Structure 1
Amino acid sequence: MLWTRYVAIGDSFTEGVGDPAPGGGWRGWADRAAEALAARAAGFGYANLAVRGRLLGRIIDEQLPAALELRPDLVSVSGGGNDLLRPGTDVDELAARMDAAVAALRGTGADVVLFTGVDPAGSPVIRRTRGRVAVFNEQLRAIAARRGAFVVDQWSMDVLRDWRAWAEDRLHMSPEGHRRVALAMLEALGVPDVGDWREPPLEPLPELSRGARLLSDTRWARAYLAPWIGRRLRGRSSGDLVTAKRPVLAPLGEDASRSPLL
């Protein structure tokens, strides 16, 4: 199937944080996937309404209506990860809001792509959310089955458990991680001849000593975890002063013809 009006909504994952764009800003998996789709459909338009730090409620309240106004035929929806970092989050309520959003989009005839969370087992701090993430993932799979949506199952993508798929902050993906997620989305959509997210396989990283791991974790906590906690305590978000990078549906430009995922 050819899509010509793709809109992406979500948080920093969809905004593309961690994958620098030529000339500044962020590229990310959604841009990369859009470039591949644009190469297959004349008159292709793409909008990315995602803003870093957004909780699912704000994504649905602010970005969903804007997305519906653009009359897309394909929408990617990713959200809830920032909510799940907060203890006490009601996963069932989160899933109910996502279900209603997907129902609204599917009611227009648009195809919808959802994303499960990545397995955080390897993270020294975020792994504490693993149970909540796993439950929400099951809810997302049920929503997709009920509403006829596509799913990118990041939980099963072993390569995303490798730190080379992640930026230094361990919260956002590296260019390699974004590249593989873009390919996984295109695979879920059934787009042929774009490449395989499993390739190339990554050689195992050298085993670090306990002391080296502790030193690395300590440096990460000082540089990234402490500022994140500080923002939470002040009621601030990294996206407070950020607006959507592609708020209107528009062509990608001449550079979209280049090989987007390699």
Structure 2
Amino acid sequence: MKYQRFVAIGDSCAEGLDDLLPDGRYRGWADRVASVLDAPGFRYANLAVRGRRLDQMLVEQVPSAAALKPDLVAVFGGGNDVMSGASAAQIEQRVDALVRAVTSFAPTVAVFTLSDVSHRMPFGWRVRPRIEALNAAVRAAAVQYGALLVDVEADECVHDSRYFGPDRLHLSSLGHRRLAGHLLSALEIPFASSWLAPLDGAAAPASLLDHWRWLRDQVLPVAYTRTRNKLIGRQPGDGFRPKRPTLLPLA
């Protein structure tokens, strides 16, 4: 099937964080998918905003997406719901509402599971049940509303540190490339086989110094920022605008 109006909805991962272009802009899996779909008449919009939860996407991004009348929508989110401490019941309700809304206006909708990053985090056991709840809800909603399921959790490469960026949460360029490959594979659209090729060798194990630098440079600054924003009533993502708010040619 030829798609000509592609819209991405989501958070920082859909925006493309940690997949940098030489000029400092973010690329990401959605841009990579758009590059494969690109053809005369093709248009692409990316409404993703970093830090947004599923319930915020429903209110802020879904109406804009519906107005664009897309023939393909990719919805990636849930990580911020997991990290913000939403309950399993809240996550399930948010996933259901979001997928139901998007499938009501888009003929093809792709949804994604999340890889289990809990083993990469301090006190990861606390978030693992929420990740499991999110993935179960995504799978159920895909069946109920006829969405296309992209089961990222099943990719063995998610256990390799090279799949993730410096913060061990956002995808690296390699991770974005593989995610794009998984989506295109689910859509049955040809793409470069190297995107899903097995990784060479094994990643070097992290040293104690690596863990300390990660804690100092990634974890503590984020914890400080989240605490400060909470005190002043600021939400993650406030002040940021969608990456590509309108349907435009890729170039």
Is the structural similarity TM-score above 0.5?
yes
Question: Mind listing any 5+ residue stretches in structure 2 that lack a counterpart?
Answer: none
Once the two structures are TM-superposed, the CA of residue 186 in structure 1 deviates from its matched residue by 0.5
> For 1:172, which of 170, 173, 180 is the aligned residue?
170
2:21 partner letter: A
Moved more, 105-114 or 52-61: 105-114
> For 2:63, which of 62, 65, 75 is the aligned residue?
65
The alignment of Structure 1 onto Structure 2 pairs a total of residues equal to: 246
1:138 partner letter: A
Corresponding position: 1:146 with 2:135? no
What percent identity do the matched residue pairs reach?
Answer: 42
Once the two structures are TM-superposed, the CA of residue 221 in structure 1 deviates from its matched residue by 1.0
Once the two structures are TM-superposed, the CA of residue 224 in structure 1 deviates from its matched residue by 1.0
Runs of 4+ with >6 A deviation = none
Moved more, 236-245 or 115-124: 236-245
1:36 partner letter: V
The Cα offsets for residues 158-195 of structure 1, whole Å up to 9 and x where unpaired, read as: 11221111111212111111111100110111113442
> For 2:210, which of 200, 211, 216 is the aligned residue?
216
Alignment partners' CA distance in 2, 1:73 and 1:149: 13
The Cα offsets for residues 80-102 of structure 1, whole Å up to 9 and x where unpaired, read as: 11110133x12222222222222
Alignment partners' CA distance in 2, 1:126 and 1:45: 43
SS of 2:246's partner is strand
The Cα offsets for residues 194-217 of structure 1, whole Å up to 9 and x where unpaired, read as: 426430433113445xxx2x3221
Alignment partners' CA distance in 1, 2:236 and 2:220: 13
Alignment partners' CA distance in 1, 2:4 and 2:34: 10
Once the two structures are TM-superposed, the CA of residue 103 in structure 1 deviates from its matched residue by 1.9
Distance 1:109 1:206, change over 3 A: closer
Question: Mind listing any 5+ residue stretches in structure 1 that lack a counterpart?
Answer: 254-262
SS of 2:74's partner is strand
The Cα offsets for residues 108-153 of structure 1, whole Å up to 9 and x where unpaired, read as: 2421111101121430327331221012101110100111111111
* TM-score of the two chains, using structure 1 as the length reference: 0.88
Superposition map of 1:151-166 within 5 A: 151-166=149-164
Whether the 8 Å contact between 1:18 and 1:172 is mirrored in structure 2 is yes
2:61 partner letter: Q
Across the aligned residues of Structure 1 and Structure 2, the Cα RMSD in angstroms comes to 1.8
Whether the 8 Å contact between 1:47 and 1:249 is mirrored in structure 2 is yes
Distance 1:7 1:193, change over 3 A: closer
Once the two structures are TM-superposed, the CA of residue 237 in structure 1 deviates from its matched residue by 5.1
Alignment partners' CA distance in 2, 1:98 and 1:207: 35
